[in-house]
Chain A
Amino acid sequence: DGGITQSPKYLFRKEGQNVTLSCEQNLNHDAMYWYRQDPGQGLRLIYYSQIVNDFQKGDIAEGYSVSREKKESFPLTVTSAQKNPTAFYLCASSIGGRFSGYTFGSGTRLTVV
């Protein structure tokens, strides 16, 4: 079955550490996205990539970095520069193009301890 896999489901990070969240898709989708969910704030776009080796900042990119070396993979690194990293992180992909919606992964809950 095709889909998006995010791992791990739960992640704990000490303050000052970088941590990488994995996102893999086997849907052959060109575009991939990272969103962050906080209570009462909906989903906010961190980074997105419409094609391999290219990515763009979203609305809240500060303190995050990404790479898109393969079509299937779009890992997100939460750096120590991110002031408030505790959140639920969602990865999504789409075929790209007009009128294409997202398929979401099941999310990663990151907690800073």
Chain B
Amino acid sequence: DQQVKQNSPSLSVQEGRISILNCDYTNSMFDYFLWYKKYPAEGPTFLISISSIKDKNEDGRFTVFLNKSAKHLSLHIVPSQPGDSAVYFCAASETTSGTYKYIFGTGTRLKVLA
């Protein structure tokens, strides 16, 4: 039972254009979401977060949008750069549970073409 889903295993985008990575979740109790970026043979690094009380959060080229009614979030990268080529994971947590653990999606491999 996959509670966090990233239905696109891969995505290719031209340099300078927008990259949109999508994530869907099933548990309505999730109230905090993270995006991580991962290069091969390395640990994931934190990109951006959003709480369920917001519908948008921006940090430089990265913007995360949350649609609670659709149980959907997306990460926008504008403009995309070749160094953005990596696997992106979304993660969700039910922070009121007291365990503070995250459920991760399966990841989307982004390739930015120069």
Contacts and interface: CB of A to CB of B under 8 A. Distances in A.
A99 B36 CA distance: 15
B32 A43 contact: no
Interface stretch (A33-41, A61-69, A77-85): A33-41
B106 A105 contact: no
A65 to B, nearest CB: 18
Contacts of B9: 40
What class of interface size applies to chain A in its complex with B? Answer: 20 to 34
Contacts of A90: 43-44
B99 A104 contact: no
Interface of B: 4, 6, 9, 32, 34, 36, 41-46, 49, 51, 89, 91, 95-96, 99-107
A26 to B, nearest CB: 16
A110 to B, nearest CB: 13
Nearest to A38: B106
Interface in A76-102: 88, 90, 92, 94, 96-102
Contact of A107 (B41, B91, B99): B41
Given A9-B41, A42-B107, A102-B46, 9 more contacts: A4-B43, A96-B100, A98-B95, A99-B51, A99-B95, A103-B46, A104-B36, A106-B43, A109-B41
9 contacts: A40-B106, A42-B6, A42-B89, A45-B103, A48-B101, A90-B43, A99-B51, A101-B34, A106-B42
Closest 6 A/B residue pairs (Cβ) = A104-B43, A42-B106, A43-B104, A98-B95, A42-B104, A106-B43
